[in-house]
Structure 1
Amino acid sequence: MKKIIYGILCSILLLNASCTDFMDNIKPTNSVTDEGIWLTESSAMLFMSKVYRDLDGPYYSVNGLNDHAVDILFTDDCIQIGEKASNQWNLFDFNASSAPIDRWGNRYSSIRRANIALKNLPDSPLPANVKERLMGDSYFLRAMFYLELFRYYGAAILIDKPLDRNTDDIFLARATPEATLQFIISDFQNAADRLPVTVPDDELGRATKGAALGMMAATYLYAAGIIDSKYYADAAKTARVLVSGDLKGTYSLYQNGFAEMFYEDNEHNSEVIFDIQFAYPYRWSSAQTVLAPPEPGTPAEYGWSKDHPTASLADEFEMATGEPFDWNNPEHAAAPYENRDKRFYATLHYNGKPWKNKILYTAQNTPGNLNLKENPNGMYSAGKPSCTKTGYYIGKYMNQDVLCGYDNRGRGVGGGHNFIVLRYAEILLTLAEAENEVNGPTAEVYGAINEIRARAGQPALPAGLDKSEMRKRIRHERRIELALEGKRWFDIQRWKIGEEVLNKDAQGCLVTYIKRPDGEIVPTYETVFVCKKTFMAPRDYLLPIPQSARDKNPNLDQNPLW
Structure 2
Amino acid sequence: MKFNLKKYGIGSLILILTICSSGCKKYLDEKNNSNFVKDTYFQNASQARTFVNGIYTSLYFFQNGDAYGESPFITIELFAGHATSLGQSVNNGNVINQRTDAVNPGFETVWRGSYNAIANANLALEQIPNVAMPDADKKKLLGEVYFLRAFFYYHLVRLYGDVPLVTKTVGVSDADLYPSRSPVASVYDLIIADLTLAQASGLAATDQTGKVSLGAVNTLLASVYLTTAGFPLNKTENYAKAAATAELVLPSYTLFDNYLYLHDNAHKNQGELIFQSQYLVGVRDNAIPQLTVPFNLPVGAYGDHLGAMIPTNQFFNSYETGDLRTQERQFYFSSYPQNGAPANTITFGVHALYKYFHLESALGNGISDENWTFLRLPEAMLIYAEASNEVGGPNTKALAQVNAIRTRAKLSSLTAALTKDQFREAIWKERYHELAYEDKAYFDIQRTHKAYNVVNNTFGEATTTPTEQGVTFKSQYYLWPVPQREINTNKNLTQNTGW
**TM class by smaller structure:** 0.7 to 0.9
Structure 2 counterpart SS, 1:76: coil
Task: Mark the CA change 1:359 to 1:479 in structure 2 (over 3 Å): closer, same or farther.
Answer: farther
Amino acid across the alignment from 1:347:
F
Residues in 2 aligned to 1:65 and 1:312: alpha-carbon distance in whole angstroms: 22
Q: Greater CA deviation, 299-308 or 427-436? A: 299-308
Task: Mark the CA change 1:146 to 1:504 in structure 2 (over 3 Å): closer, same or farther.
Answer: same
Structure 2 counterpart SS, 1:56: helix
Alignment of 1:94-493 (within 5 A): 94-98=100-104, 100-102=106-108, 103-198=110-205, 204-226=209-231, 227-228=233-234, 229-243=236-250, 248=251, 250-255=252-257, 257-293=258-294, 294-296=296-298, 300=302, 303-320=305-322, 340-345=323-328, 346-350=330-334, 361-362=346-347, 377-378=348-349, 391-403=350-362, 412-493=365-446
Task: Mark the CA change 1:354 to 1:98 in structure 2 (over 3 Å): closer, same or farther.
Answer: closer
Give a deviation string over 1:461-520, Cα, whole Å, max 9, x none.
Answer: 13310011101110111101000111111011111025756766665xxxxxxxxxxxxx
Residue 473 of structure 2: aligned partner: 535
Residues in 2 aligned to 1:57 and 1:120: alpha-carbon distance in whole angstroms: 25
Cα deviation, residue 35, structure 1: 2.2
Asked whether the 8 Å contact 2:159–2:480 carries over to 1, the reply is yes
For structure 2, the residue ranges without an aligned partner over 5 or more in a row are 1-17, 452-459
Structure 2 counterpart SS, 1:402: helix
Task: Mark the CA change 1:359 to 1:430 in structure 2 (over 3 Å): closer, same or farther.
Answer: farther
Amino acid across the alignment from 1:265:
A
Residues in 1 aligned to 2:124 and 2:422: alpha-carbon distance in whole angstroms: 48
Cα deviation, residue 556, structure 1: 2.0
Task: Mark the CA change 1:450 to 1:299 in structure 2 (over 3 Å): closer, same or farther.
Answer: closer
Cα deviation, residue 532, structure 1: 4.8
Give a deviation string over 1:358-379, Cα, whole Å, max 9, x none.
Answer: 67554xxxxxxxxxxxxxx44x
Cα deviation, residue 271, structure 1: 0.8
Asked whether the 8 Å contact 1:155–1:177 carries over to 2, the reply is yes
Residues in 2 aligned to 1:503 and 1:195: alpha-carbon distance in whole angstroms: 47
Give a deviation string over 1:124-160, Cα, whole Å, max 9, x none.
Answer: 2233233212211111110011001011011221121
Residues in 2 aligned to 1:118 and 1:402: alpha-carbon distance in whole angstroms: 38
Task: Mark the CA change 1:283 to 1:187 in structure 2 (over 3 Å): closer, same or farther.
Answer: same
Task: Mark the CA change 1:10 to 1:95 in structure 2 (over 3 Å): closer, same or farther.
Answer: same
Asked whether the 8 Å contact 1:274–1:422 carries over to 2, the reply is yes
Q: How much is the aligned-residue C-alpha RMSD, in angstroms?
A: 3.0
Asked whether the 8 Å contact 2:139–2:201 carries over to 1, the reply is yes
Amino acid across the alignment from 2:414:
L
Cα deviation, residue 435, structure 1: 0.6
Asked whether the 8 Å contact 2:45–2:131 carries over to 1, the reply is no
Asked whether the 8 Å contact 1:72–1:489 carries over to 2, the reply is yes
Task: Mark the CA change 1:155 to 1:304 in structure 2 (over 3 Å): closer, same or farther.
Answer: same
Amino acid across the alignment from 1:312:
Q
Structure 2 counterpart SS, 1:85: helix
The yes-or-no answer on 1:45 pairing with 2:49 is yes
Structure 2 counterpart SS, 1:392: strand
Cα deviation, residue 428, structure 1: 0.4
Asked whether the 8 Å contact 1:62–1:283 carries over to 2, the reply is no
Residues in 2 aligned to 1:72 and 1:344: alpha-carbon distance in whole angstroms: 22
Cα deviation, residue 198, structure 1: 4.2
Task: Mark the CA change 1:297 to 1:442 in structure 2 (over 3 Å): closer, same or farther.
Answer: closer
Residues in 1 aligned to 2:172 and 2:23: alpha-carbon distance in whole angstroms: 34
The equivalent position to 1:55 in structure 2, one of 52, 59, 63, is 59
Runs of 4 or more above 3 Å deviation: 9-12, 18-21, 56-66, 97-100, 198-201, 293-302, 340-345, 352-362, 498-507
Cα deviation, residue 99, structure 1: 5.9
Residue 8 of structure 1: aligned partner: 21
Cα deviation, residue 284, structure 1: 1.5
Asked whether the 8 Å contact 2:299–2:338 carries over to 1, the reply is no
Asked whether the 8 Å contact 2:337–2:346 carries over to 1, the reply is no
Residue 554 of structure 1: aligned partner: 491
Structure 1 counterpart SS, 2:59: coil
Cα deviation, residue 51, structure 1: 0.6
Residue 386 of structure 1: aligned partner: none
Residues in 2 aligned to 1:505 and 1:198: alpha-carbon distance in whole angstroms: 42
Residue 455 of structure 2: aligned partner: none
Number of residue pairs matched?
A: 465
The yes-or-no answer on 1:497 pairing with 2:450 is yes
Residues in 2 aligned to 1:471 and 1:441: alpha-carbon distance in whole angstroms: 9
Asked whether the 8 Å contact 2:276–2:375 carries over to 1, the reply is yes
Asked whether the 8 Å contact 2:466–2:473 carries over to 1, the reply is no
Cα deviation, residue 452, structure 1: 1.2
Residues in 1 aligned to 2:311 and 2:67: alpha-carbon distance in whole angstroms: 27
User: What TM-score do the two structures reach when normalised by structure 2?
Assistant: 0.85
Structure 1 counterpart SS, 2:132: coil
Asked whether the 8 Å contact 1:62–1:284 carries over to 2, the reply is no
The equivalent position to 1:93 in structure 2, one of 84, 88, 99, is 99
Structure 1 counterpart SS, 2:115: helix
Amino acid across the alignment from 2:442:
W
Give a deviation string over 1:26-60, Cα, whole Å, max 9, x none.
Answer: 34xx50x4223211222222211211000137545
Task: Mark the CA change 1:159 to 1:235 in structure 2 (over 3 Å): closer, same or farther.
Answer: same
Cα deviation, residue 9, structure 1: 4.7
Residues in 2 aligned to 1:76 and 1:502: alpha-carbon distance in whole angstroms: 12
Cα deviation, residue 399, structure 1: 3.3
Structure 2 counterpart SS, 1:342: helix
Asked whether the 8 Å contact 2:243–2:383 carries over to 1, the reply is yes
Residues in 2 aligned to 1:360 and 1:59: alpha-carbon distance in whole angstroms: 29
Residues in 2 aligned to 1:154 and 1:114: alpha-carbon distance in whole angstroms: 21
Residues in 2 aligned to 1:97 and 1:127: alpha-carbon distance in whole angstroms: 47
For structure 1, the residue ranges without an aligned partner over 5 or more in a row are 13-17, 321-339, 363-376, 379-390, 405-410, 508-530
Structure 1 counterpart SS, 2:129: coil
Amino acid across the alignment from 1:271:
E
Residue 407 of structure 1: aligned partner: none
Residues in 1 aligned to 2:101 and 2:64: alpha-carbon distance in whole angstroms: 26
Residues in 1 aligned to 2:357 and 2:84: alpha-carbon distance in whole angstroms: 18
